[in-house]
Amino acid sequence: MNIKTISRPGSPKSYMTCHEDPETLHIGTLESHAYFIPFAKGQDAFAEREESALFELLNGEWDFDYYNSIIDMPDDFIKQGRGRIPVPSNWQLHGFDKAQYTNINFPLPYDPPYVPDDIPVGVYGTDYQYSSNGMRRILCFEGVDSCLYLYINGQFAGYSQVSHHTSEFDITDLLHEGTNRITAAVLKWCDGTYLEDQDKFRLSGIFRDVYMLSRLENRLENYRITADDQGRLAVCATGAAAKLRLYDKDRLISEGEVSEENSFETTVENAKLWSAESPYLYRLEIETDNELIGERVGFRKVEITNGIFKLNGRHIKLLGVNRHDSYPDTGYYADREKMRRDLTLMKRHNINAVRTSHYPNAPEFYAMCDELGLYVIDEADLETHGCVNVYNDLKWSRENSYNGIALIAKDPMFKTAILDRERLLVSRDINRPCVLMWSLGNESGWGENMREGAKLIKSLDSTRPVHYESTHRLDDTSDDVLDMVSEMYTSTEDIRKFLDREDEKRPFILCEYCHAMGNGPGDLEDYFEVFSSSDRLIGGLVWEWADHAVILGYTEDGKPKYGYGGDSGERHDDGNFCMDALCYPDRTPHTGLLEVGQVYRPVRVTKGSTADSFIINSQLRFIDAGEYLSCKWEITSSDGKMSEGEFNFSVPPMGSSEIVIPEVSGSFEKDSYIRFIFTAKNGYSVFADGEEICFEQIKIFTSQKAISPTNGKTPEYTETPLEYTITAGDKRYIFNRRTAQFDGIFKGDKNILARPMQYNFFRAPVDNDTMKQDWYSAHLNDYIIKVYETSISQEQGCVVISTSQSFGWSIHQPFAKMQAVYRIDGSGINVGCEAEFSNKVELLPRFGLRLFVPKDYDDVAYYGYGPYESYIDKHYASYVGLFRADIADMHEDYIRPQENGSHYGCTEMSVSDGATKLTFTQPEGFSFSASQYTQEELAAKRHNFELKKCEHNVICADFKMAGVGSAACGPQLADKYRIPLPKVSGSIRIEIR
């Protein structure tokens, strides 16, 4: 609908003609430039920006009117006063409109440059006090989704789009002395919406800080700083001339002047270089006639030589994460505290890189990355992957010339807008040392517009390489303007194949990998190994940092009820695909983040040249790990700690050093381990001195595995056609011949089994269990048992029950046939079984026993991988040790409930009610979980807050448990983490004490 035809000529509304015009992106805005905030002379220009006398933060409660449709918005919408809203925020989180979570699919019909007629609009208003003092007033919006029309005192002042970029309006000429009205009409959709199809909750409004700058007409407009690894500093500027003073801490080391005509150049002797490991920053003071600007300068050089990505002349690995601006309480708004919390948490988990997926973050984010030491892949506000689904019955093909994801990348209509986004990215962040590369955007295909975008970036900045993943050269257009090959979710085998390619000389980066959805990822270490295998590999960034959620309400104990796609009544949604991260929405680490912290650790230890020596290998590139880390060690077995010690060491960057621990050559009886625990010293990274950073556990002694003994007097048994009863002292076992299950395990007159002991083949699918439909169609979760035969006999020291049975359902043949033998002695049962699975089961989640025990069996002890949940492919944050836990604390509370809390590599586990203890042992190792929830309950519920506890405690003793992998958006679970089929055997000893 043409707004002009429905509005009074000259009315504020009649100016709304830009949002469906792809050539009109900004009206009345200043030219984009490097981010800086001027301070008044005499001020500390390095203070927080709110301290500046020239800066007024306009955040706060603003007037707010919401219209479901721009058509129904009155001509005089400027006069408002119905509601209030905090600025910054997203209006969907304040009762207006509703949040929609969609990943690929566009939230509107694909009809560019048009958007639906009924565009929701939020009209924001606030008063501004002005008294003229010869200074211009520049109104800055750091982020508005999707576009804004600005009015000052009812007069049209400008228009701007590109949600994640600063729009600056010089509004001075529209101001009068005293109270002035600022009105921003924000539209939910504009033609830019097609370029902002990022995988996130689609939220609207003024979502970043708004402020006013007071500056002279004749002012410093822009400047560019380059500082390299030779200590060379160059500054060029436009606008007013400035004096420059460079300080190392408080020491003035160089000074000079810069003007449009003359740039400033100086060389710092023995400059301390900037890196993530040692983020050393110099201070540059820029002084004009009335302003002082504080810049932090990092000397560093990024280059790619011979296919190797380097910082300061050394190859570095990016061990990173992808981060979205997403918070359940404030939506897209990250204040400084939230940014710092995220970045500090990354550093605490040894993450050294962050990709601002898939748009630039707020400017202050980069200053923090400079300071804390994080490498940034700075990405333009661009993603158009919805193009793959826009034609109802057309799939991409060369013949029909529908190029799928590249539709927009090739469409001349969007060329101006795409180039605008690339320019905005580079011009704002060009001075930040943390930015190591520019990224053209995400999943927008490859075509002329993207090629031109890459060329534009190169013309603006020759000091950083250009990254882009979505080339998929469907029409063979060369992507040689890109400096590296980027892929996502590539398997480790395919990365190895890349290294063999003769035709490709560029380095390789995995801009997304290890999709961290739900319980996972399970392949971090495998990727680390590949990354380490070649300097051609730049490394990778885990998808993604934090789960996106909306708050649906609160539980009785005041905890937020987190919702995901489909919980807000969306027209269409992508479910819980937004809960795919290393942190819960409130930034509590998932166990996946703990895995990251351990896999990305700065030092690793391997066995040395002699039996008692070890080698410390440093992963650090620029600093001596020994200068910042101390090491404690301990030798343990299932009996606990046997010896311990500590030492200091020195190891050059990327080097190694050998240490000797004589205690390792002592004599051991049981499986024994040494664990090296590294703690921080001398202010390492964000860690407090003495805090643990990482560890390494190495097995130093493997004992002979004893066959489980049979204990005590030979039990007695009686049999009926339906039941065997076995008595051993005060213990009694009831074996049901009809189901081939133990119905009762009695100690005295108390039955420990609240339900019959079952074979268990199912787990509540984790998000990565993409084959879960096969499990349901085979009915692994609710099988019918057929018993072919049961027999009982007495042998030396025990009673032996043998069975032959199968498990199946309707329609198909049984999915498994099994032979089992139970040897019952004076103190327990040795279970042994062998099953053969039909080809209906391609990937078996687990194979083991499930026991329901009374609620008061809640005290769990185990010897195996703990204290965190652990799986065959996800146990790096855990180590082998003796752990004890209350069953209530063994649940990992995934927002979409799923299998959790397993412990891998256990040789013993027990659960006790204080009087009686049920113990499982298997010297070869097994997995177990102890939970208050059944797998059926975990599988059935959409949200954690809907979970109901089982009336019994559920103990799963798994002979085998499959890995968790990262298949939700990555390669299928590797063979080595699967349960080998079709034949699987299991054995375990169950004791009752």
Of 96 and 106, the one with the shorter C-beta distance to ligand GAL is: 106
CB-based contacts of 749: which residues, under 8 Å, 6+ apart? Answer: none
Pairing of strands 537-542, 508-513: parallel
Task: Clarify whether 443 is annotated catalytic.
Answer: yes
Instruction: Choose from Mg ion, ligand GAL, none: what does 288 bind? Cβ within 5-8 Å by kind.
Output: none
Of positions 106, 130, 543, 759, contacts ligand GAL by CB under 6 A = 543
Q: Does 197 bind ligand GAL (CB under 6 A)?
A: no
Of 295 and 544, the one with the shorter C-beta distance to ligand GAL is: 544
Q: Are 151 and 17 in contact (CB under 8 A)?
A: no
Q: How many CB atoms lie within 10 A of CB 457?
A: 26
Instruction: Choose from ligand GAL, Mg ion, none: what does 512 bind? Cβ within 5-8 Å by kind.
Output: ligand GAL
* Max CA pair span of the chain: 105
Q: How many CB atoms lie within 10 A of CB 559?
A: 12
Within 750-807, where are the H helices? 772-778
How many residues of this chain bind ligand GAL (CB under 6 A)?
A: 13
Torsion sign across C-alpha atoms 185, 186, 190, 195: positive
Q: Does 442 bind ligand GAL (CB under 6 A)?
A: yes
Nearest approach, Cβ of 92 to Mg ion (angstroms)? 20
Of 450 and 603, the one with the shorter C-beta distance to Mg ion is: 450
Q: Does 580 bind ligand GAL (CB under 6 A)?
A: yes
Q: Does 490 bind ligand GAL (CB under 6 A)?
A: no
Query: Quick one: tokens of 857?
Result: 């069996």
Of 311 and 542, the one with the shorter C-beta distance to ligand GAL is: 542
Residue 170: beta bridge partners?
138
Catalytic site residue from 20, 168, 364, 512: 512
Q: Does 577 bind ligand GAL (CB under 6 A)?
A: yes
CB-based contacts of 773: which residues, under 8 Å, 6+ apart? Answer: none
Q: Are 844 and 952 in contact (CB under 8 A)?
A: no
Q: Does 285 bind ligand GAL (CB under 6 A)?
A: no
Nearest approach, Cβ of 514 to ligand GAL (angstroms)? 11
Amino acid at 882: L
Binding to ligand GAL (CB under 6 A) within 507-536 occurs at 512, 515
Of 103 and 934, the one with the shorter C-beta distance to ligand GAL is: 103
Q: Does 275 bind ligand GAL (CB under 6 A)?
A: no
Catalytic site residue from 20, 364, 422, 443: 443
Q: Does 873 bind ligand GAL (CB under 6 A)?
A: no
Of 405 and 911, the one with the shorter C-beta distance to ligand GAL is: 405
User: Where would I find the beta strands (DSSP E) of 364-484?
Assistant: 375-379, 435-439, 466-467
Of 490 and 902, the one with the shorter C-beta distance to Mg ion is: 490
Query: Quick one: tokens of 868?
Result: 């965190």
Which position's Cβ is nearest ligand GAL?
199
Of 307 and 575, the one with the shorter C-beta distance to Mg ion is: 575
Nearest to 853 by CA among 968, 954, 926, 927: 954
In angstroms, the CA 907 to CA 128 distance is: 70
Q: Does 199 bind Mg ion (CB under 5 A)?
A: yes
CB-based contacts of 664: which residues, under 8 Å, 6+ apart? Answer: 611, 612, 635, 674, 700
Nearest to 485 by CA among 476, 475, 473: 473
| Token pair 């892949």 in the structure block, residue | 377
Of positions 7, 90, 100, 103, contacts ligand GAL by CB under 6 A = 103
In angstroms, the CA 93 to CA 188 distance is: 14
Binding mask 306-345 for ligand GAL (x = CB under 6 A): ----------------------------------------
Of positions 115, 190, 954, 969, contacts ligand GAL by CB under 6 A = 969
Q: Does 197 bind Mg ion (CB under 5 A)?
A: no
Task: Single out the segment in contact with Mg ion by CB under 5 A; choices: 378-386, 464-472, 593-601, 951-959.
Answer: 378-386
**Of how many residues is the chain composed?**
993
State the angle between helix axes of 415-429 and 363-372 in degrees (0 to 180), rounded to the nearest 10. 40
Query: Quick one: tokens of 209?
Result: 């800080």
Nearest to 188 by CA among 205, 172, 176: 205
Binding mask 417-456 for Mg ion (x = CB under 5 A): --------------------------x-------------
Q: Are 307 and 300 in contact (CB under 8 A)?
A: no
Q: Are 222 and 237 in contact (CB under 8 A)?
A: yes
Instruction: Choose from Mg ion, ligand GAL, none: what does 580 bind? Cβ within 5-8 Å by kind.
Output: ligand GAL
Instruction: Choose from ligand GAL, Mg ion, none: what does 543 bind? Cβ within 5-8 Å by kind.
Output: ligand GAL
Task: Clarify whether 469 is annotated catalytic.
Answer: no
Task: Give the catalytic positions in this structure.
Answer: 443, 512
Footprint on this chain of Mg ion (rule: CB under 5 A): 199, 385, 443
Footprint on this chain of ligand GAL (rule: CB under 6 A): 103, 199, 357-358, 442-443, 488, 512, 515, 543, 577, 580, 969
